[in-house]
Amino acid sequence: MVWVSGIILLAALAIFTTGKGKVIRIDRTGIAIIGGAAVAGSGLMSFNEAASCVDWRTIAILLSMMIISSGLQISGIFDLLGHHISARIKKSEVFLLAVLLLSSIMSAVCINDIVCIVLTPVVISICRKAEIPPLPHLLAIALGANLGSACSISGNPQNIMIGSLSGISFLSYMKTAALPVLISIAACYAILRMQYKNSLPQLKGKSGKAVYDRHMAIKSSLIASGTIALFCLGFDMAVVSLSAAALMLITRRVNPEKIYKHIDFNLLALFAGLFVITSGAKKSGLIDIIVSSCGQFCDMSNYFVFQTGTVILSNIVSNVPAVMLLQYFIPQSGDSSVWWSGMAYFSTCAGNLTITGSIANLIVAEKAAKEHINLDWLSYLKAGLPVTLISVIIGMLLIR
């Protein structure tokens, strides 16, 4: 059954690499579902075996963090913070730094994709009212979202999965990633300011009035901050996040449909399908063949080779499937926490390389396009390439 598993895995990776096809319109979520069904349908696994392969802990944490992030989103707190900052800043280069820091900090608390969804239109509106070019600030949102989420085990989907699979505590990972992330954020600001030094005039006009729900803003902020505090204290992330999500849903002011609307159910289905596909490949012996074959060309038992492979593969097939495959290369003997922590950091920072490197980048580009702002591939690469190189080098030096 190795060949059957090989075809399923190859088809899935092909769609993840190329995106939605023009002839057969299958997207990444679709191929994950199709691949999972094929694993069970081909006899590689029974349905019960396939269901047991899904890491429901990862799914539960991811769903819960989406609900918490959704509560923050519909409260309007991002809009409030953005206008509060712009009202007190007159220099465009200071506003650029504020946007970068806001995107980074919020992405360490929430899922970075949601931060980009909410923050992008706010920043575009402020830039237009202040008569400053939005492009450097949009880059700050995307790059900051990836870097900030690299600091937290709950900052993005692949890190949530790594935390669940590895058992790394929230606080221990943050201690590992904090310094390289802070250095990378500083480098990111220096690069953006240098590249756009002639496009950062004084802010003009008024920032406008923020629209927000005061009660919901306070409630969602308390729930989010309490969740992170309990994570840091070592409480079970699944139990804490589910409890926090339940509290977010207990309300008489907000229609639950508003919260559900911002939950990415496609991503949850994608995770479930990929768990089944990779588990099927493992059971068939395909993963063992891949691991032994890779050993003939590169030494994946070498930490630096492994993390370099993480950066490369994350840009080819995207970080979630890359992590699911690369977990089998992590040594089983000795302390593997540094390998897991490194994979979380490098797979996230790899998303800064190109505009298609992470969903967060694409969200910013799509939101900008709707406002007739062109965040093109080359403009992104000019900033993304040096930021990625610096963050990877810093990570190699400090996470080991």
Q: Tell me: pLDDT of 177 over 70.
A: yes
pLDDT at residue number 175: 94
Sorting pLDDT into bands at 50, 70 and 90, what band is 357?
A: confident
Q: Tell me: pLDDT of 210 over 90.
A: no
Q: Tell me: pLDDT of 295 over 70.
A: no
Q: Tell me if 177 sits within 8 A of 151, measured CB to CB.
A: yes
Sorting pLDDT into bands at 50, 70 and 90, what band is 21?
A: low
The span from the CA of 279 to the CA of 325, in Å, is 10
Distances in Å between the alpha carbon of 118 and those of 115, 125, 317?
Answer: 5, 12, 26
The span from the CA of 15 to the CA of 85, in Å, is 41
Distances in Å between the alpha carbon of 183 and those of 106, 177, 188, 271, 327?
Answer: 17, 10, 9, 31, 27
For residue 198, what are the contacts with CB-CB under 8 A and spacing of at least 6? none
Sorting pLDDT into bands at 50, 70 and 90, what band is 207?
A: low
The span from the CA of 386 to the CA of 83, in Å, is 30
Residue-wise pLDDT for 222-255, tens only, equals 999 999 999 999 999 999 999 999 999 998 778 8
The tokens for 9 are: 């895995």
Q: Tell me: pLDDT of 298 over 80.
A: no
What are the b/e assignments for 201-213, b being 16+ CB within 10 Å? Answer: eebeeebbebebb
pLDDT at residue number 18: 77
Q: Tell me: pLDDT of 205 over 70.
A: no
The span from the CA of 15 to the CA of 25, in Å, is 10
pTM of the model: 0.89
The alpha carbon of 363 is separated from its chain's Cα centroid by a whole number of angstroms, namely 11
Give the percent of the chain with pLDDT over 90. Answer: 57
235: left (phi over 0), alpha (psi -120 to 50) or beta: beta
Q: Tell me: pLDDT of 24 over 80.
A: no
The mean-pLDDT minimum among 201-210, 216-225, 300-309, 346-355 falls in 201-210
How buried is 64 (Cβ within 10 angstroms: 0-12 exposed, 13-18 middle, 19+ buried)?
A: buried
